[in-house]
């Protein structure tokens, strides 16, 4: 990437909604159904049929719009976007042109540990097309109409992103948001989130945007990153060579990793949008908005910040946000209380996760329940046992139904924190290792570590390390 240029990116994300039925008919849809089994005359666009708007589609749009601080247009409508393509038998897509259901708003996310915000232009409701099937098993192209009329939300962002990595973090944030709001399955391999990536470049310091190129057909987040990088470099090379290029639509080819020109950019006028007269205008009441607002769950960024505020590490806070089962387990530990959140998260995402994975047991089925884990953690936090001994206790907790305290007693794992007892031990070690003592006094710092090791060994690993270290320094100095 040429450092004299800045990349500017805006995304149009299409998220397939996980409503039970399609946008304008009663067909049920689920990914992977047998080809051409989930359709009716309405959703494939046969003449003489009439659409009926699925209320849940509006509900889902409101969820996302309110979660992103959008302004809800309480009166919006539907429009026909006309174009010719074999996956659109009807000849037009029902979408929202002039009055989208939501406008403005923002998506907050973290990029390299810093909070960012991307402004949203709009969120609108539209329908998906049929799927074209190409394959080696047959000649030509086949059509699967199952996806026809599946509801989509198009989430259009302002050109606020500045790099491929930031684009990926934004996409991840949108994915998490859709998941938390429970409105999209977010299965990339099923194509439930797809995006058009708009890219332009400009010399650093220039305020006007450069010519934008839109890349269609981006199905993965890594694809979006590659598309941004590829396209920015292509544009910079052209600019540097003094070659002007048009505003155009290109297709992103994931396999070859290049963008290919499809058409110079059409204008909105070319689609001949006009109002969908077969649907009533859409009106959303104050009460409905209030209802949805009140039912919103805690959002990923807020949750992340709450965990950070509790002292949980950055990485583990995100893991909690992303893994509901472990989050529930963690929250149960917090309810029980008396343990540090940071420590609990550490153990949950460390040894416990390894164990759950090994045995195929979910956190909720775990024989080491939050109560039993917390008992063990309290023994560590009070200094009764060392962190290392905690690992032994955890193994034993999985193997039996004893309590942590019983295990500590049975295996005599309690730490020695008695200063008198430890002082005697340290003195003995120092007398037996005069060479190391001399080395330490001559500035050999690793001699100290050696002496700590000897003391630990003599105590069979039970010496309280803080007290031991302190005593050793005192006696040596
Ligand atoms: P269209 O339907 O023609 O693609 P939209 O207005 O729906 O137009 O989408 C425009 C998208 O392009 C938005 O995501 C916006 O942020 C982005 N965009 C606009 N101008 C630029 C630019 N100069 N560089 C990069 N992205 C841009
Ligand atoms: Mg577009
Ligand atoms: Zn149908």
Question: Token digits for 422?
Answer: 């430890």
With contact defined as beta carbons under 8 Å apart, do 307 and 320 qualify? Answer: yes
CA dihedral 197, 203, 207, 208 (to 10 degrees): -60
Cα–Cα distance measured from residue 90 to residue 83, given in angstroms and rounded to the nearest whole number: 9
> In terms of residues, how long is the chain?
477
Q: How many CA atoms lie within 13 A of 276 on its CB side?
A: 29
With contact defined as beta carbons under 8 Å apart, do 463 and 416 qualify? Answer: yes
pLDDT, position 465: 86
Cα–Cα distance measured from residue 358 to residue 370, given in angstroms and rounded to the nearest whole number: 19
Q: The whole model's pTM is what?
A: 0.88
Asked if residue 200 has its Cβ within 6 Å of ligand 1, the reply is: yes
With contact defined as beta carbons under 8 Å apart, do 356 and 362 qualify? Answer: yes
Cα–Cα distance measured from residue 351 to residue 390, given in angstroms and rounded to the nearest whole number: 11
Asked if residue 248 has its Cβ within 6 Å of ligand 1, the reply is: no
pLDDT, position 32: 87
Question: Token digits for 136?
Answer: 């080696």
- Which ligand lies nearest the alpha carbon of 90? 3
Ligand 2 centroid to Cα of residue 204, in Å, is: 26
pLDDT, position 187: 84
Residue nearest to atom 24 of ligand 1 (CA): 200
The position carrying tokens 């002007």 is: 244
Cα–Cα distance measured from residue 93 to residue 79, given in angstroms and rounded to the nearest whole number: 8
Q: Where are the beta strands (DSSP E) in 149-191?
A: 151-157
Asked if residue 160 has its Cβ within 6 Å of ligand 1, the reply is: no
Mapped onto helix, strand or coil, the DSSP state of residue 253 is strand
pLDDT, position 254: 86
Cα–Cα distance measured from residue 241 to residue 237, given in angstroms and rounded to the nearest whole number: 6
- Count the neighbouring beta carbons within 10 Å of the beta carbon of residue 323: 16
Choose the residue to mutate in 198, 201, 207 for probing ligand 1, maximizing ligand atoms within 8 Å of C-beta.
198
Residue 310: what are its φ and ψ, rounded to 5°?
-85, -5
Task: Identify which of 99, 95, 101, 151 has the alpha carbon closest to the alpha carbon of residue 123.
Answer: 101
Choose the residue to mutate in 12, 236, 248 for probing ligand 1, maximizing ligand atoms within 8 Å of C-beta.
12
CATH topology of domain 419-476: Arc Repressor Mutant, subunit A (1.10.10)
Asked if residue 214 has its Cβ within 6 Å of ligand 1, the reply is: yes
Residue nearest to atom 17 of ligand 1 (CA): 10
Mapped onto helix, strand or coil, the DSSP state of residue 110 is strand
pLDDT, position 224: 95
Cα–Cα distance measured from residue 44 to residue 221, given in angstroms and rounded to the nearest whole number: 30
Choose the residue to mutate in 6, 8, 10 for probing ligand 1, maximizing ligand atoms within 8 Å of C-beta.
10
With contact defined as beta carbons under 8 Å apart, do 231 and 238 qualify? Answer: no
- Spans of all domains in the chain: 5-292, 298-410, 419-476
Mean pLDDT per 10-residue run, the chain (477 residues)? 94 97 96 94 94 97 98 96 92 95 98 97 97 90 96 98 97 96 89 95 96 91 95 96 92 90 71 90 97 97 98 97 96 96 98 96 96 97 90 95 94 88 91 91 88 89 88 89
pLDDT, position 316: 97
Question: Token digits for 76?
Answer: 């919006």
Asked if residue 158 has its Cβ within 6 Å of ligand 1, the reply is: yes
Ligand 1 centroid to Cα of residue 348, in Å, is: 43
With contact defined as beta carbons under 8 Å apart, do 311 and 303 qualify? Answer: no
β-pair type (213-218, 248-253): parallel
Residue nearest to atom 11 of ligand 1 (CA): 10
Residues lying with their CB under 5 A of ligand 3, a single-atom ion: 25, 27, 40, 42-43
Asked if residue 157 has its Cβ within 6 Å of ligand 1, the reply is: yes
Asked if residue 209 has its Cβ within 6 Å of ligand 1, the reply is: yes
Ligand 2 centroid to Cα of residue 68, in Å, is: 21
| CA of 159, closest atom in ligand 1 | 16
Q: Where are the beta strands (DSSP E) in 158-277?
A: 193-203, 213-218, 248-253, 258-264, 274-275
With contact defined as beta carbons under 8 Å apart, do 200 and 8 qualify? Answer: yes
pLDDT, position 265: 57
Q: Which residues of 360-383 are buried (b: 16+ CB within 10 A; e: fewer)?
A: eeebeebebbbebbbbbbbbbbee
The position carrying tokens 């190129």 is: 213
R_g of the chain, CA atoms, integer Å: 30
Ligand 1 centroid to Cα of residue 455, in Å, is: 67
- Count the neighbouring beta carbons within 10 Å of the beta carbon of residue 82: 15
Task: Identify which of 158, 249, 241, 148 has the alpha carbon closest to the alpha carbon of residue 196.
Answer: 249
pLDDT, position 266: 59
Q: What DSSP state is assigned to residue 191?
A: T
- The partner residues of 274 in beta bridges, in order of sequence, read 80
């Amino acid at each position: 990437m040429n450092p004299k240029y800045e990349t500017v990116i805006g995304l149009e994300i299409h998220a397939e909604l996980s409503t039970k039925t399609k946008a304008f008919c009663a067909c049920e849809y689920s990914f992977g159904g047998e080809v051409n089994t989930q359709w009716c005359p309405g959703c494939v666009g046969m003449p003489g049929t009439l659409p009926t708007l699925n209320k849940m589609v509006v509900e889902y749009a409101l969820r996302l719009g309110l979660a992103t601080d959008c302004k809800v247009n309480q009166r919006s409508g539907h429009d026909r976007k006309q174009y010719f393509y074999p996956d659109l038998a009807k000849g037009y897509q029902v979408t929202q042109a002039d009055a989208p259901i939501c406008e403005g708003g923002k998506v907050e996310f973290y990029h390299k540990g810093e909070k960012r915000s991307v402004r949203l232009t709009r969120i609108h409701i539209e329908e998906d097309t049929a799927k074209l099937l190409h394959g080696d098993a047959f000649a030509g192209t086949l059509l699967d109409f199952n996806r026809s009329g599946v509801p989509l939300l198009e989430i259009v962002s302002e050109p606020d992103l500045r790099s491929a990595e930031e684009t990926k973090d934004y996409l991840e944030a949108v994915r998490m948001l859709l998941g938390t709001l429970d409105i999209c399955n977010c299965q990339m391999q099923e194509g439930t989130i797809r995006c058009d990536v708009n890219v332009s470049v400009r010399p650093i310091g220039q305020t006007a945007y450069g010519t934008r190129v839109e890349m269609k057909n981006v199905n993965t987040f890594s694809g979006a990153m590659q598309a941004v990088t590829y396209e920015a470099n292509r544009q910079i090379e052209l600019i540097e060579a003094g070659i002007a290029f048009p505003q155009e639509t290109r297709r992103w080819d994931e396999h070859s990793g290049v963008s290919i020109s499809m058409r110079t950019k059409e204008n909105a006028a070319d689609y001949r949008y006009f109002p969908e007269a077969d649907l009533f205008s859409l009106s959303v009441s104050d009460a409905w908005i209030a209802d949805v607002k009140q039912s919103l769950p805690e959002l990923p960024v807020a949750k992340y910040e709450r965990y950070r505020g509790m002292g949980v590490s950055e990485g583990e806070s995100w893991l909690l946000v992303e893994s509901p089962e472990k989050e529930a387990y963690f929250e149960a530990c917090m309810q029980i209380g008396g343990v540090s959140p940071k420590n609990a998260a550490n153990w949950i995402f460390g040894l416990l996760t390894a164990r759950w994975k090994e045995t195929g047991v979910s956190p909720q089925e775990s024989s080491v329940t939050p109560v039993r884990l917390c008992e063990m953690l309290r023994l560590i936090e009070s200094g009764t046992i060392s962190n290392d001994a905690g690992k032994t206790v955890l193994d034993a907790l999985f193997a039996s139904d004893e309590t942590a305290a019983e295990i500590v007693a049975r295996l005599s794992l309690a730490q020695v924190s008695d200063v008198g007892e430890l002082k005697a031990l340290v003195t003995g070690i120092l007398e037996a290792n005069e060479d190391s003592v001399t080395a330490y006094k001559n500035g050999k710092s690793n001699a100290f570590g050696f002496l700590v090791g000897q003391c630990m060994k003599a105590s069979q690993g039970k010496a309280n390390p803080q007290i031991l270290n302190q005593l050793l320094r005192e006696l040596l100095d």
